[in-house]
């Protein structure tokens, strides 16, 4: 059976321009891209919600369940040793992929949401008190709003919000004014799931560190589309989810600097996060196991490792460059159609195209798209404050991945014309 690297070997000519990928070969590796409905192959443009999975990831998870299935870290038998080795190899792969200095700084969680909640309920509870402040931005996903609201309500602290422009760019001058001696944490997304804005997280981190304030970066939409080096960014925490990056659902990562993680209490109690337990006292394990209570998502973790292998076989720089080219093409298509209004026109932008149309509700747009065999998302995208900022109830959202092609985007434009036929 071919590995991920072998499968994509001819799809990537390392001497060719960054955007030169054998997309058709790559597309053949994703079974879900070939699903038909009523004889029509479905076009998938809902990648910000979840990505499709290559055969190498699917087959790796299958192999675990067929021939390696056992619990990790606890067994002395052969299957447990094999499973444990594969599980810990995935940690090392994630460490390399994200540029993490130490493997013990890679914590496996259920996803970005759990990673953020872990920080809020451990570091946050330790560090935030009455009248302290937590800073987030106006373009956050609910997962990077609600945990901080809950913490602030519990502690009597205040949630401060970085405003944004009509283009969907953060107003950095206002951000710097928010930083003060009361600021205990800054938590911002790397890429907006609703607008596609790529935020200047390095600048945000530098300014926070000038005040001695740690920064969490929500990388749910970043790790799948951009090269990430957490050491270079100097962020204190970085959170991401496997299912956004061609991996399985139910598994994610929290990177945290060891000096912070060591001071934080466990998030959950249970097996595998302890050194010893008596009725009088429990001694906790060292990193990373202090934060990985109970039987983990072993198959998901191994699948995440396979996803990292796959992405690295193509190269994140190439993925970012190709997706940028696709985004420019998609933007030009949408801008050329009368009655279509793009929401989010940041100068630094990933492949998220949120739009509204005259006379058509986004939910109707999404349904007509589906009837045309094109999968997009319609709604508030778990970012209701973003919708409020732009004075709209919802948007239709097409979101791109490196396995999409210009034909997919042409199908999107054709579906928009169908919407116009119905509502104009």
Residue listed under structure tokens 């579906």 = 415
- What are the residues facing 134 on neighbouring strands? 159, 185
CB 46 within 8 A of CB 376: yes
- What are the residues facing 41 on neighbouring strands? 36
Residue listed under structure tokens 């919407």 = 419
What are the angstrom distances between the C-alpha of 127 and each of 145, 187, 382? 18, 14, 27
Question: Can you tell me whether residue 137 is helix, strand or coil?
Answer: strand
Q: Which of 104, 235, 240, 382 is catalytic?
A: 382
How far apart are the C-alpha atoms of 333 and 327, rounded to whole Å? 10
Backbone phi and psi for residue 241, each to the nearest 5 degrees, phi listed first = -125, 135
CA neighbours closer than 13 Å in the CB half-sphere of residue 138 = 19
- Other C-beta atoms lying within 10 Å of the C-beta of residue 406: 13
CA neighbours closer than 13 Å in the CB half-sphere of residue 68 = 18
- Other C-beta atoms lying within 10 Å of the C-beta of residue 267: 21
CB 165 within 8 A of CB 176: no
CB 248 within 8 A of CB 299: yes
Helices (H), 73-229: 78-98, 112-119, 125-127, 146-155, 172-178, 201-210
In DSSP notation, 30-89 reads: -GGGG-EETTEEPEE-BTTT-----HHHHHHHHHIIIII---SSS--SHHHHHHHHHHHH
Per the annotation, the verdict on 382 as an active-site residue is yes
How far apart are the C-alpha atoms of 155 and 342, rounded to whole Å? 39
- Which value, in Å, is the radius of gyration of the alpha carbons in the chain? 22
Backbone phi and psi for residue 278, each to the nearest 5 degrees, phi listed first = -130, 170
What does the block give as tokens for 285? Answer: 């394990």
Q: Which residues are catalytic?
A: 382
């Amino acid at each position: 059976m071919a590995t991920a690297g072998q499968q994509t070997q001819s799809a990537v000519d390392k001497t060719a321009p960054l955007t030169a990928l054998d997309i058709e070969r790559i597309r053949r590796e994703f079974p879900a891209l070939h699903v038909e409905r009523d004889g029509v192959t479905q076009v998938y443009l809902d990648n910000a919600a979840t990505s499709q999975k290559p055969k190498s990831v699917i087959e790796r998870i299958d192999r675990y369940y067929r021939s390696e299935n056992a619990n990790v870290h606890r067994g002395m038998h052969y299957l447990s040793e094999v499973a444990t080795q594969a599980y810990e190899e995935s940690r090392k792969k994630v460490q390399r992929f994200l540029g993490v200095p130490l493997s013990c700084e890679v914590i496996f969680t259920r996803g970005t949401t759990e990673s953020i909640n872990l920080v809020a309920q451990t570091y946050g509870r330790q560090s935030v008190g009455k009248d302290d402040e937590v800073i987030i931005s106006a373009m956050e996903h609910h997962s990077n709003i609600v945990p901080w609201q809950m913490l602030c309500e519990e502690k009597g602290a205040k949630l401060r919000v970085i405003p944004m422009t009509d283009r969907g760019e953060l107003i950095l001058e206002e951000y710097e004014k928010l930083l003060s001696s009361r600021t205990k944490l800054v938590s911002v997304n790397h890429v907006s799931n609703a607008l596609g804005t790529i935020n200047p997280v390095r600048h945000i981190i530098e300014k926070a560190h000038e005040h001695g304030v740690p920064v969490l970066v929500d990388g749910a939409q970043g790790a799948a589309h951009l090269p990430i080096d957490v050491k270079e960014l100097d962020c204190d925490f970085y959170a991401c989810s496997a299912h956004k990056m061609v991996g399985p659902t139910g598994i994610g990562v929290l990177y945290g600097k060891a000096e912070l993680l060591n001071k934080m209490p466990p998030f959950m109690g249970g097996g595998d996060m302890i050194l010893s337990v008596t009725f009088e006292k429990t001694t906790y394990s060292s990193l990373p196991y202090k934060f990985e209570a109970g039987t983990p998502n072993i198959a998901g973790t191994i699948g995440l490792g396979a996803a990292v292998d796959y992405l690295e076989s193509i190269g994140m720089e190439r993925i970012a460059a190709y997706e940028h080219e696709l985004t420019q093409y998609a933007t030009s298509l949408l801008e050329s159609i009368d009655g279509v209004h793009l929401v989010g026109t940041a100068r630094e932008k990933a492949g998220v195209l949120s739009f509204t149309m005259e006379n058509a509700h986004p939910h109707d747009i999404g349904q007509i798209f589906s009837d045309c065999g094109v999968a997009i998302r319609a709604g508030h995208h778990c970012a209701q404050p973003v919708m409020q900022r732009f004075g709209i109830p919802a948007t239709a959202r097409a979101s791109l991945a490196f396995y999409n092609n210009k034909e997919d985007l042409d199908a999107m434009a054709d579906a928009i014309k169908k919407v116009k036929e119905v509502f104009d």
